[in-house]
Chain A
């Protein structure tokens, strides 16, 4: 079975400092991994995805994530946090079925302080 574990439920960063959101995955196969962001009162938005191509994946808004098979990790980073980055972030793994089931982590709430 596929699953993801987000290691931090809350992360607080100062504006302009780096952001690190940690995610470990469990998968019997080479996984498809994603990060989604959810702003209050808005729909989930895809930040980036890994589908067995380059292990360093660049996404929108300056975010990137690195797939490390040896560590079964897919951590999300951003060099410099902006106030607009305050949101909930979900690490997601794609299932092995043929129809696109997504398995979400519990989420990490990011707070950005001035």
Chain B
């Protein structure tokens, strides 16, 4: 399968713990996006990488959240001191470097439950 993959698919954690999610984009895609989807809502943009550079961050991305893409390939999203309000599906998407700017390919998501 050459699509976008995310790991883990599900994560249950206790409030106050740190969690880290991983996204592996399609190999030739240099653009990578993170979105958050809460129950009954559409995905909301969190942050954007072009290669290894983080170029955009939503105000939804509080200082407890940090994202990296160290070598311009896979990306990680870390949440520190999790809160119950962080419970959501975290989606990763990637798109190719030339044209088709909005043609984003989504991974299956990581569902986070904070107890």
Contact = CB atoms under 8 A, between A and B. Distances in A.
B25 interface: no
Given A94-B102, A99-B56, A104 B42 contact: yes
Interface string A31-51: 010101000011111100101
B33 A104 contact: no
Given A90-B42, A99-B48, A101-B45, A43 B102 contact: no
Contacts of B45: 101-103
A99 B101 contact: yes
What band does the interface of chain A fall in when counting residues whose beta carbon is under 8 Å from B? Answer: 20 to 34
Nearest to B33: A100
Contact of A43 (B40, B50, B108): B108
B88 to A, nearest CB: 14
A48 B103 CA distance: 10
B36 to A, nearest CB: 11
B106 A32 contact: no
B31 interface: yes
A98 B101 CA distance: 8
What band does the interface of chain B fall in when counting residues whose beta carbon is under 8 Å from A? Answer: 20 to 34
A100 B105 CA distance: 12
Which of A99, A100, A106 is most buried by chain B, counting CB atoms within 10 A of its CB? A100
Interface string B35-74: 0000011111100101000011000000000000000000
Contact of A41 (B41, B102, B105, B108): B108
Contacts of A46: 103-104
B87 interface: no
A102 B104 contact: yes
Nearest to A36: B106
A90 B93 CA distance: 15
Nearest to A9: B40
B102 A104 contact: no
B95 interface: yes
B79 interface: no
Interface of A: 9, 32, 34, 36, 41-46, 49, 51, 90, 92, 94, 97-107
